[in-house]
Structure 1
Amino acid sequence: MSLKLMGISQGYGKTRVIDRFDMELAPGVVGLLGPNGAGKTTLLRTMATIMPPREGKVVLDDTVVDGEHAARHARRRIGYLPQKFGCDPGMRVADFVRYAAWMRGMPAERWDSAADLALAQVDLVEHRRTKMRRLSGGMRQRAGIAWAIVGQPSLVLLDEPTVGLDPRQRLQFRKIVSGLRQSVVVLSTHLIEDIDAICDQVIVLHDGTPKFTGTTAELAALGRDDLPGDTNLERAYMNLLPGEEQRL
């Protein structure tokens, strides 16, 4: 599996959010960092084929996603968890995840086993028959993660997935994502410690353009002691985005 973004420009109305963005990703975990409004969610929605690019090309495994037919085919290989995901509140957790398996075109005989595996990965097996409206915020978020990873999609896109998770659940989430390295995983988060723990590469996005692309070690090397932050990664992030320290 590979993902290429070639000269991608994207926006809303007259506002340009992403400007001529190029990226090529192979299997592994990529962290997407940036302040609010940097374009992270827009970039993920473009990767997920929800928003066709205004300019440029999205290429999955050497196939250009150049229309709705190609996009529908590509979505069978994509697991996408947006920041705020919708669901039928009366739907049981297992059925919610089975529905994701159906949407990805999995054979019906695999729905149950794939859903059970995804629920086991997020520690929700005992709640498989619980209705979505009865889940706590953290449990609902874990159900969303199960939705995104059911059937082991080739491309997994996670937008702020650890919101609402307690420290133990965040550690479990890191373990889950670490087990997905055969896929291309893009993780958008504000939690730099999660980036440090599980990501192979980091992209720092600001005003729709990448300010840094490389490994966590390469990013940490950009940190300076005179900048705010408790770790080299945090200080490097501040170094790349002048003015962000004023928001602390």
Structure 2
Amino acid sequence: MLAIDAVSHFYKKQLALEEISLHLEPGITGLVGVNGAGKTTMLSIASGSLKPTHGLVAVGDHHLYERGSRKAGLRHIGYMPQAFAYHPSFTAHEYVTYLGYLRGQKWAAAWSMARDVLASVGLEGKLRHKMGSLSGGMIRRVGLAQALMGNPEVLLLDEPTTGLDPEQRSAIRNLIAELADAKFVFVSSHIMEDIEALAAKVVVLHEGAILFSNSIQQLRNISPVDNARDAAEAGFLSLVTRARSGVR
């Protein structure tokens, strides 16, 4: 459904992504890397928010950065950025409705759908609460809800558990797992525990390049440790260490 083909990106002269190619499969795919690996850049490009310096991004037959097909392609994508702006005086219902409206929905339809998606993330009792009064965990739920507006087939979630305590992280992971049915989900994190709890497949990104793209089990098999509980993280760290030493 989502195809990234030979994508490279520069910020001025600084290389951020190098020749990235990936075809997203049904279910949940994890994107893991240390801070600064390029995860946010990759998801921004995949969501249609940041035009790559080189390469193509397509959803089905719709190329996101070609004028004739961009609008149709964006309808299939829901994007939860790591950080998103909101006016603290908006209610949760108003905020999600407004974002749906900005994406082309009629106001009445967006108002009705916003109620439904907020209920789907457990916020049916917070519709009239001001955004500025919500906890960090609730704000992350609102971010997930707005990504669901329009019932997109592709969900791109950038560090959805960032800044949350362990209980809140677990709750958000459970929500993502429940909402992922029949969707293509690409979720990033620098916390391997979150990726391991959610994804069957994982992509390891380091310094803008893909080091690994395979199953969680294959990542565990790379691990130099015998402890099964820590095997995926150890496999990830082994890949990063080898890359830093010039071994791929």
- Structure 2 residue runs of 5 or longer lacking an equivalent are none
Match of 1:101 in 2: 100
> Do the aligned partners of 2:28 and 2:199 also contact (CA within 8 Å) in 1?
yes
Q: Deviations over 1:171-222 (max 9, x none)?
A: 3322222232322111111221121111121000011111000111111111
Structure-2-length-normalised TM-score: 0.89
- Change in Cα spacing, 1:68 to 1:84, as seen in structure 2 (3 Å) is farther
Secondary structure in 2 matching 1:242:
helix
How does 1:150-189 map onto structure 2 within 5 Å?
150-178=149-177, 179-189=179-189
Deviation at 1:151, TM superposition (A): 2.9
Verify: 1:238 aligned to 2:245, yes or no.
no
Match of 2:130 in 1: 131
Q: AA paired with 2:39? A: K
Q: Deviations over 1:111-137 (max 9, x none)?
A: 233212221222222111011111122
How does 1:22-171 map onto structure 2 within 5 Å?
22-68=21-67, 70-171=69-170
Match of 1:214 in 2: 214
Of 120-129 and 210-219, the range deviating more from structure 2: 120-129
Deviation at 1:66, TM superposition (A): 3.4
Q: AA paired with 2:120? A: Q
Secondary structure in 2 matching 1:196:
helix
Deviation at 1:92, TM superposition (A): 0.8
Secondary structure in 2 matching 1:218:
helix
Match of 1:11 in 2: 10
Q: AA paired with 1:203? A: V
Of 20-29 and 105-114, the range deviating more from structure 2: 105-114
Q: AA paired with 1:216? A: I
Q: Which whole-Å CA distance do the structure 2 matches of 1:153 and 1:92 have between them?
A: 23
Deviation at 1:139, TM superposition (A): 1.7
Secondary structure in 1 matching 2:180:
coil
Deviation at 1:169, TM superposition (A): 3.0
Deviation at 1:244, TM superposition (A): 9.5
Q: AA paired with 1:187? A: V
> Do the aligned partners of 1:221 and 1:236 also contact (CA within 8 Å) in 2?
yes
Deviation at 1:46, TM superposition (A): 0.5
- Change in Cα spacing, 1:26 to 1:105, as seen in structure 2 (3 Å) is farther
Deviation at 1:167, TM superposition (A): 3.2
Q: Which whole-Å CA distance do the structure 1 matches of 2:124 and 2:243 have between them?
A: 41
Q: Which whole-Å CA distance do the structure 2 matches of 1:117 and 1:142 have between them?
A: 13
Structure-1-length-normalised TM-score: 0.89
Deviation at 1:109, TM superposition (A): 4.4
- Change in Cα spacing, 1:168 to 1:113, as seen in structure 2 (3 Å) is farther
Q: CA RMSD in A?
A: 2.2
Q: AA paired with 2:198? A: I
> Do the aligned partners of 2:24 and 2:186 also contact (CA within 8 Å) in 1?
no
- Change in Cα spacing, 1:26 to 1:104, as seen in structure 2 (3 Å) is farther
Secondary structure in 2 matching 1:231:
helix
Deviation at 1:19, TM superposition (A): 0.8
Of 191-200 and 59-68, the range deviating more from structure 2: 59-68
> Do the aligned partners of 1:238 and 1:244 also contact (CA within 8 Å) in 2?
no
Of 58-67 and 194-203, the range deviating more from structure 2: 58-67
Deviation at 1:237, TM superposition (A): 0.7
Secondary structure in 2 matching 1:214:
strand
Secondary structure in 2 matching 1:86:
coil
> Do the aligned partners of 2:58 and 2:73 also contact (CA within 8 Å) in 1?
no
Q: Deviations over 1:61-108 (max 9, x none)?
A: 022233345333322222111111001221110011112322333454
Q: Which whole-Å CA distance do the structure 1 matches of 2:174 and 2:95 have between them?
A: 23
Match of 1:194 in 2: 194
Q: AA paired with 1:200? A: A
Count of aligned pairs: 243
